[in-house]
Amino acid sequence: MAQLIVDIKKLKHNIQFLVQYCNKLGLKITGILKGPGLDATIIHEMMSNGIDNVGFSNLPMENNYDEIFHKKPVFISLPSIYEISNIIKYFGTSFHSEISVIERINEELITQNRSHNIVLMVDTGDLREGVLPENVVDIVKKIHEIKNFKLNFSGIGSNMGCCAGMLPNEDNLNILNELAVQIEMKLGLEVKTVSIGGSVMLEWLEKNRLPDKINQIRLGEAIFLGNIPTINKKHIDLHDDVLIFKSDVLETNEKKVDSLKICGKDAFGCTPKFAYTGMRKRAIMNFGISDTYPEGLQPLIDGLDIVCVNSNYTIIDFTNSHEQLKPGDFVEFKMNYMSMLQGFISPFTKIVYKQPADSING
């Protein structure tokens, strides 16, 4: 019985704190829902607490969007050329780095008679998506020379701390700012959006002044995990337990762990490592890789160690804990980013919302 518990009160706190903080700096927030996806409860919390819009990195498969969205969301991954028709149908804005794809978007807009905003991604050093800074003005010009131009050029964006682990600094943020200025001066175009992300930005913002043109921040991890990725630091004003993974014990036993006798591979073809040997108290938990990313879980009780992970089981060594686990006991865990992603995506993990009223009764 794997459950992912979403504490709505804590989620609200994180959202409200970040909205107030970012708005003061002139930044609107795009809330990134890589894990929760089309979770109507979470989207509602975001949109009703001041998040400007929500962004997705996958194309949702359902069709009942109108009930969920009051405003068309943002597609933050580079769109596949095979998915353009749905991109412009479901999303109001998408992020780009290839002019051939932008041309296809424009053609499709004409066919479907729709409007759509594009943001051109600039690689300011993280070596993931984006055109090179020196080509930006030229590419923006080429975009506007597309025949029967129907799309709206909304602006530019860049991403940090995702691939090369590049941290924000004055130089890479100034590159983006300066490009916005140049597009306006050289091409006479308005740059409405200058977007940065993700949560790694929050640390930099504490101590530095943001260039004027940057007006949008894309945040995911900080909202859900209260964590600043890349430097992996807890944000002091945010809850890190908005999301709790919870599951039950199936078997407990004392087992002799003898690393010399065990010489094959585990269920995933990896060589087992034994942190402890000898007689150990072990609990088999009712979840595995098919439910979340178990290695990214952190038990709320001290002295529990995750020692083995299978498709459907996770084994906890509780020899060092005061807790005496038995079948039916629940164990709760904080989640890291991968656990969150896999937990939300898994069809076996039940998403449970802990509403503020629930906590009054314990």
Contact 85, 112 (CB under 8 A): yes
Query: How many residues sit in the footprint of ligand PLP (CB under 6 A)?
Result: 14
Angstrom distance (rounded) from CA 230 to CA 225:
13
Instruction: Write down the least CB distance from residue 46 to ligand PLP, Å.
Output: 13
Residue closest to ligand PLP, measured at CB: 198
29 makes contact with ligand PLP (CB under 6 A) = no
Q: Is residue 73 part of the contact set for ligand PLP (CB under 6 A)?
A: no
CA–centroid distance for 287 within its chain: 22
Position among 10, 116, 213, 218 found at the interface with ligand PLP (CB under 6 A): 218
Rounded Cα–Cα distance for residues 130 and 195 (Å): 13
Q: Where are the alpha helices (DSSP H) in the chain?
A: 8-24, 40-48, 65-68, 84-90, 99-112, 136-144, 170-187, 201-207, 221-225, 337-345, 356-360
d(CA 139, CA 179): 12
Residue listed under structure tokens 């002019």: 99
Segment contacting ligand PLP by CB under 6 A, of 131-139, 171-179, 194-202, 342-350: 194-202
CB nearer to ligand PLP: give 201 or 316.
201
CB 65 within 8 A of CB 56: no
- Scan residues 43-72 and list those touching ligand PLP (CB under 6 A): 57
Restricting to residues 314-353, name those near ligand PLP by CB under 6 A: none
Q: How far apart are CA 243 and CA 74, in angstroms?
A: 24
Q: Which is nearer to ligand PLP, 105 or 325 (CB)?
A: 105
**Contact region with ligand PLP (CB under 6 A), list: 66-74, 181-189, 197-205, 248-256:** 197-205
- Choosing from 76, 102, 183, 244, the residue that interacts with ligand PLP (CB under 6 A) is 76
| Residue 221 in the binding site for ligand PLP (CB under 6 A) | yes
Helix axes 8-24, 40-48, angle to 10 degrees: 40
Residue 57 CB, shortest distance to ligand PLP, in Å, is 5
Minimum Å distance from CB 248 to ligand PLP? 30
Interface residues with ligand PLP (CB under 6 A) are 32, 34, 57, 76, 159, 197-199, 218-222, 229
